[in-house]
A and B are shown apart, each in its own frame.
Chain A
Amino acid sequence: DTGVSQDPRHKITKRGQNVTFRCDPISEHNRLYWYRQTLGQGPEFLTYFQNEAQLEKSRLLSDRFSAERPKGSFSTLEIQRTEQGDSAMYLCASSLGGNSPLHFGNGTRLTVT
């Protein structure tokens, strides 16, 4: 169990640019979640995959956001035409299902200038 890993750890980008983040879940976990956390707030749910299927998306996930999990293993989260309001920590988590605990990665901190 090497844990959930996220790449990059930090990303600074200019407004209007596109960014992509990667998450590698714990290998035997079939569920994968993306959350966003801003300063002083708890994590907010963005989207969830079971294997390669994206089964739920939050209203927070605007058209500029897209997530994929092509082979049911790693996942990517892309933000197009970034805005300053997108600045946040993006967290990935995985689980075995059955309401087992979510295991979180260290997150990717995005700063949009």
Chain B
Amino acid sequence: AQKVTQAQTEISVVEKEDVTLDCVYETRDTTYYLFWYKQPPSGELVFLIRRNSFDEQNEISGRYSWNFQKSTSSFNFTITASQVVDSAVYFCAPARRGGSEKLVFGKGTKLTVNP
């Protein structure tokens, strides 16, 4: 079974600070996918990124970047120059390749960006 640990329950930063959200996952699968989702106060889960376990290249998208380290089973997410609109709960979720492809969510990290 897959499992994910987001050790940071809540993080509070001031606008323009950089912040990194940690994600450690467990899986017995040799190939799998990893996802990050954002859940703002409005409640809808918003897809941010998908990463294939074969691809360890880090990715940058605007102010967002992701660091995937297969050797340590981590898939960390960094927001550069945070903004108030980044305030949300962020979830990291592994998914088995094939089969149901269901996402396995942890408890998430609540990020509050203060003005």
Chain A interface (Cβ < 8 Å from any Cβ of B): 31, 33, 35, 40-45, 48, 55-56, 89, 91, 93, 95, 97, 99-107
Contacts and interface: CB of A to CB of B under 8 A. Distances in A.
Contacts of B13: none
Contact of B105 (A42, A56, A103, A107): A42
Nearest to A45: B102
Given A56-B100, A97-B101, A99-B95, A43 B33 contact: no
Given A48-B102, A101-B50, A102-B103, A89 B97 contact: no
B10 to A, nearest CB: 10
A28 B19 CA distance: 37
Interface of B: 33, 35, 37, 42-47, 50, 52, 91, 93, 95, 97-108
B101 A42 contact: no
Contacts of A31: 101
B108 A42 contact: yes
Interface centre among B45, B52, B107 (most CB of A within 10 A): B45
16 contacts: A40-B107, A42-B93, A42-B107, A42-B108, A45-B103, A45-B104, A48-B102, A56-B99, A56-B100, A56-B102, A89-B43, A97-B101, A99-B98, A101-B50, A104-B37, A105-B44
Contacts of B106: 42
A95 B93 CA distance: 15
Contacts of B42: 106
B107 A41 contact: yes
A106 B91 contact: no
